[in-house]
């Protein structure tokens, strides 16, 4: 592939933007959407941030491709650096604080995996998973140091006092897995995203014909089964589990597929907004974005 044939990497970046935009415009209880904002983060901050991630997603895919054809080593893909650059671009694009750190954590390795698959011929679900595991397994201490810088740039307070063990990025994700679902996903090949999330996006899109409805239902499915670690860090694991049980009850009543379920979703949304954004299932939203990105990659490439 020569430089004139590299439009496919622009497409990957556009699909990442589209995933992040579709996620935020979809009504997900407790999260920013066109009708509800946080006191310090506006709806348009998420839209602007979604646009800003494109350059580093493109670079991640290109580096994955170069690793796939042997031009660079897997350890030189630069997962940590690209997460940092994505976060910096987002923070420079608006004044609404951290909007895309978690999304960058997930989409950068996935884009690199897509690049590897392109080098090998065709992207499949198995190749996407295998590529993610391969990319993460070859990360380095430098990737971890870059990731720490990304967290500092994001200004997030949700992680509390940051412990900085000097270990390779893959090991850092293993250490962090118990407290952060995104880290857990990176340490296990995105099991929830590529199994549950991707399958539910496909299932509910077939049922409803609407990506927005599919995103809402997939969000509830993931939340119902996996307590949100963003909430757990701020409000405790028992609160996170209680919210998951509430999401499960909504799904059992039909969710967005019937009028009663829609009413329950609206009530759930109001309940989650009572304490500002402390009950925001933000990690679940990140995982839905990654599930949608995987779906769009597989449907498009």
Give the start-to-end residue ranges of the domains of the chain.
Answer: 3-300
Beta bridge partners of 115: none
pTM of the model as a whole: 0.96
Residue 122 is predicted with a pLDDT of 87
Distances (CA, A) of 144 to 105, 147, 167: 12, 5, 7
Residue 3 is predicted with a pLDDT of 47
- For 168, phi then psi, to 5°, come to -60, 155
Q: pLDDT per residue over 194-223, tens digit each? A: 999 999 999 999 999 999 999 999 999 999
Task: Output the six-digit token pair for 21.
Answer: 């935009």
Answer with the residue of higher pLDDT: 4 or 221: 221
Tell me which residue has tokens 């990319």: 135
pLDDT band at 2 (very low <50, low <70, confident <90, very high): low
Percent helix / strand / coil, the chain, rounded to 5 = 75, 0, 25
Distances (CA, A) of 96 to 38, 85, 93, 148: 9, 17, 9, 20
- CATH class of the domain defined by 3-300: mainly alpha
- Let me know the angle formed at the C-alpha of 182 by 100 and 156, rounded to the nearest 5 degrees: 45
For the cut 60, the answer to whether the pLDDT of residue 235 exceeds it is yes
For residues 195 and 185, give the distance between their C-alpha atoms in angstroms, rounded to a whole number.
Answer: 11
For the cut 90, the answer to whether the pLDDT of residue 55 exceeds it is yes
């Amino acid at each position: 592939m020569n430089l004139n044939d590299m439009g496919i990497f622009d497409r990957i970046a556009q699909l990442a933007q589209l995933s992040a935009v579709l996620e935020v415009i979809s009504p997900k209880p407790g999260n920013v959407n066109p009708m509800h904002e946080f006191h310090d983060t506006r709806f348009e901050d998420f839209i602007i941030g979604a646009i800003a991630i494109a350059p580093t997603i493109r670079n991640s895919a290109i580096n994955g491709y170069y690793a796939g054809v042997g031009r660079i080593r897997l350890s030189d893909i630069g997962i940590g650096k690209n997460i940092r650059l994505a976060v910096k671009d987002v923070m420079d694009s608006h004044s609404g604080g951290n909007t895309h750190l978690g999304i960058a954590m997930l989409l950068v390795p996935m884009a690199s995996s897509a690049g590897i698959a392109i080098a090998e011929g065709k992207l499949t679900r198995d190749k996407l998973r295998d590529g993610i595991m391969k990319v993460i397994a070859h990360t380095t201490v430098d990737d971890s140091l870059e990731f720490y810088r990304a967290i500092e740039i994001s200004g997030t307070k949700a992680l509390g006092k940051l412990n900085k063990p000097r270990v390779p990025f893959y090991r850092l994700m293993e250490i962090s897995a118990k407290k952060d679902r995104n880290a857990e996903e990176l340490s296990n090949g995105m099991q929830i995203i590529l199994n549950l999330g991707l399958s539910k996006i496909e299932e509910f899109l077939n049922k409803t014909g609407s990506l927005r409805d599919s995103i809402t239902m997939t969000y509830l499915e993931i939340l119902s089964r996996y307590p949100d670690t963003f909430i757990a860090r701020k409000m405790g694991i028992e609160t996170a589990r209680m919210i998951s049980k509430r999401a499960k009850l909504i799904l059992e009543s039909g969710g967005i597929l019937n009028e009663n379920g829609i009413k329950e979703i609206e009530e759930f949304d109001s309940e989650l907004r009572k304490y500002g954004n402390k009950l925001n299932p933000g990690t679940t939203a990140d995982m839905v974005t990654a599930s949608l990105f995987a779906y769009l990659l597989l449907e498009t490439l």
